[in-house]
């Protein structure tokens, strides 16, 4: 996100002479009237930093806002609209995934001049071929799986690695294929416990002493629901998934007699230094968003299409999640090299 902020700010200042401000903690900054002015000195060397210098929030929705100690949300969008007018904001640039862009689209329909930039490590936002943050998450996941694989081989275990991906299995698919996993489980393809057990048994007969399974947090068994870790009160998205790998590992150990261990990578995938491809894509997105603002192409989101920077409407971006299809080429290639999807 810092690389996006840097690119947008530098181009907006140098080429157009605009004043750029950053609202702190996302939509919370718009509601609580908290922002800073961004200048060249502040953003010049932040491209290599993970996270965001502005902060963020994943449970603040202007249309369903929870006051402290309140159990019922209220609509404070009128407060946001008034504050935008008060500051004479010519364009509001929102950086985020489906939730963020959905809120942005609702504000746009109320008359706010909004431009979106696609960010989510899940890579599941519609309207674009890729979101920034995804490559870094896959890189971190792949390295972690590589390390776990050596332990699995030494101790002759079933090793399960749970990665983020609530409803889309892109991280599991890419990192599992890159690390040579034996089984990849993703939300889009419900798995059969018997088929996984059969695959493990076949590997044992063939002389393999371990099995490596990459599991999306949203992976689920055929006919069953997601593994829910907890529900978060006062959130517009209260469901928190988790535990899919641990539950499956326990059942496989009981069924096969082979010791199973589960590792949850979780928020490790969100942190650290971004890989170069993400910094480049973020820079392209940030600079490209300036074009949309200059052209007053509001209600649109900068996007990547066939390798080129383009745009998509916020309506298109939020219409449906971009999911892995069972006939996706990478699914087919994975199967061709012996990986099963349960």
List the catalytic residues. 122
Residue corresponding to tokens 């998205």: 237
Pair 106, 142: CB distance under 8 Å: no
Six-digit token string for 60:
């603040």
Residue 309 main-chain phi, psi, to 5 deg:
-75, 125
Phi, psi of 194 (to 5 degrees): -65, -40
Between β-strands 211-216 and 158-163, what pairing exists: parallel, antiparallel or unpaired? parallel
What's the order of all strands across the beta sheet hosting 114-118?
A: 92-96, 114-118, 300-305, 308-313
Compute the Cα dihedral for 294, 300, 303, 306 and give only its sign.
negative
Handedness of CA 275, 276, 277, 282 (dihedral sign): positive
User: HEC profile for 33-77?
Assistant: CCEEEECHHHHCCCCCCCCCCCCCCCCCCCCCECCCCCCCCECCH
Determine contact, residues 124/164, Cβ cutoff 8 Å. Answer: no
Asked if 332 contacts 339 with a C-beta cutoff of 8 angstroms, the reply is no
- Give which of 275, 272, 155, 141 is closest to 215, Cα–Cα: 141
Q: Taking the CB of residue 13, how many other CB atoms lie within 10 A of it? A: 16
Most distant CA atoms of the chain, gap in Å: 71
Angle CA 328–331–333, to nearest 5: 110
DSSP 192: -
């Amino acid at each position: 996100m810092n690389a996006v902020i840097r690119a947008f700010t530098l181009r907006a200042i140098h080429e157009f002479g605009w004043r750029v401000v950053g609202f702190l903690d996302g939509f919370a900054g718009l509601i609580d009237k908290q922002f800073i002015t961004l200048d060249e000195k502040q953003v010049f060397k932040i491209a290599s930093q993970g996270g965001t210098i502005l902060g963020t929030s994943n449970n603040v929705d202007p249309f369903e806002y929870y006051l402290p100690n309140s159990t019922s949300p209220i609509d404070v969008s009128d407060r946001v609209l008034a504050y935008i007018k008060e500051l004479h904001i010519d364009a509001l640039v929102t950086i985020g995934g489906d939730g963020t862009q959905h809120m942005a689209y609702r504000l746009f329909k109320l008359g706010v001049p909004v431009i979106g930039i696609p960010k989510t490590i899940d890579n599941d936002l519609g309207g674009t071929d890729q979101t920034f943050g995804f490559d870094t998450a896959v890189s971190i996941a792949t390295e972690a799986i590589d390390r776990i694989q050596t332990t699995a081989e030494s101790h002759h275990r079933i090793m399960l690695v749970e990665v983020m991906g609530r409803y889309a299995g892109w991280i599991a698919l890419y990192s599992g294929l890159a690390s040579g996993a034996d089984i990849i489980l993703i939300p889009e393809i419900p798995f059969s416990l018997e088929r996984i057990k059969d695959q493990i048994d076949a590997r044992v007969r063939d002389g393999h002493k371990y099995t490596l399974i990459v599991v999306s947090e949203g992976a689920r068994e055929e006919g069953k629901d997601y593994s829910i870790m907890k529900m978060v009160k006062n959130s517009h998205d209260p469901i928190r998934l988790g535990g899919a790998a641990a539950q499956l590992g326990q059942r496989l150990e009981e069924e096969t007699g082979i010791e199973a261990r589960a590792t949850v990578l979780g928020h490790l995938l969100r942190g650290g230094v971004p890989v170069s491809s993400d910094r480049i894509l973020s820079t392209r997105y940030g600079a490209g968003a300036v074009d949309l603002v200059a052209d007053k192409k509001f209600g649109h989101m900068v996007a990547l299409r066939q390798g080129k920077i383009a745009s998509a409407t916020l309506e298109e971006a939020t219409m449906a999640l971009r999911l892995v299809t069972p006939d996706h080429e990478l699914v087919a290639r994975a199967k061709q090299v012996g990986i099963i999807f349960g």
